[in-house]
Amino acid sequence: THVREMPPLEGDSKLRDEAVDVLNEYKTAFELDFKSILTLKRKSKDSYEAMEAYFTAQDKAEEKVNKATRQLRKAQQVYAEKHNMRVVDSKSDDVLEMKMNKIIEVNDYWRSIFLNYFKVSKQYDKLWDALSEQKATPLNHQRNLTLKVIDQVLPELNRKPDFHGDSEFRSQTINIIEYYRQVAEVDFSKIVDVLNQKSMEQKDVEEVNSIINKCNADHERLAYNWNIASQDLFRKNVDKE
């Protein structure tokens, strides 16, 4: 409101009007777009589709804000040249924009890898949920569903390029998904065989417990490596700037 009421300089109101438009874009983004994003974020862990919708909405809102900022900077330059003014810290603005573009680039790459991982991890979690029922048929059904998703995702991940020579995050994601395949294909197949027996002996119980303990230990190690690779992707490609 205060910006809109400012008088034009020498009859030129273009910069003021551009500033009002940009501030309105910011207001819309923060009052509506980012409010919607928070709602999507709360639902994002429900499914792959919900997570994808959350990322897409976040990208669109961020791009709207960035576009408005570029629009205002351009208007400032034009206005300054027209009225023989000098824009202070324009070089700093350029550096900041370069950094923001790099962050967006890293984010886009990370999300493209993460969404594939998330799609598999949802099925893998359901595999463990099915185990709690201790019934062979639903467990075997979920085992096959998990393998089906893994077979869809792994080729796509293997085709993904590295990020300017940095392949660690992609590699660690492939490693943990290949581990999920081993668990579903080998370890849970053994558990299904045990559950299919008419009666379970103590040695069967011990075998299942041994498989579960091994899976938990292996997953903890691989998840740790995956988290470190995820953090390093940003640390090496953003924080160093």
* Residue 45 contacts residue 115 (beta carbons within 8 Å): no
Q: Residue 166, SS3?
A: strand
* 116-149 core/surface letters (b: 16 or more CB in 10 A; e: else): bbbbbbbbbeebbebbeeeebeebbebbeebbeb
- State the pTM of this model: 0.71
pLDDT digits (tens, 9 = 90+) for 92-131: 555 556 766 777 788 889 989 999 999 999 999 999 999 9
Q: How far apart are CA 224 and CA 219, in angstroms?
A: 8
Written as six digits, the tokens of 204 are: 């069967």
pLDDT digits (tens, 9 = 90+) for 135-183: 999 999 999 999 999 999 999 999 999 999 999 999 999 999 999 999 9
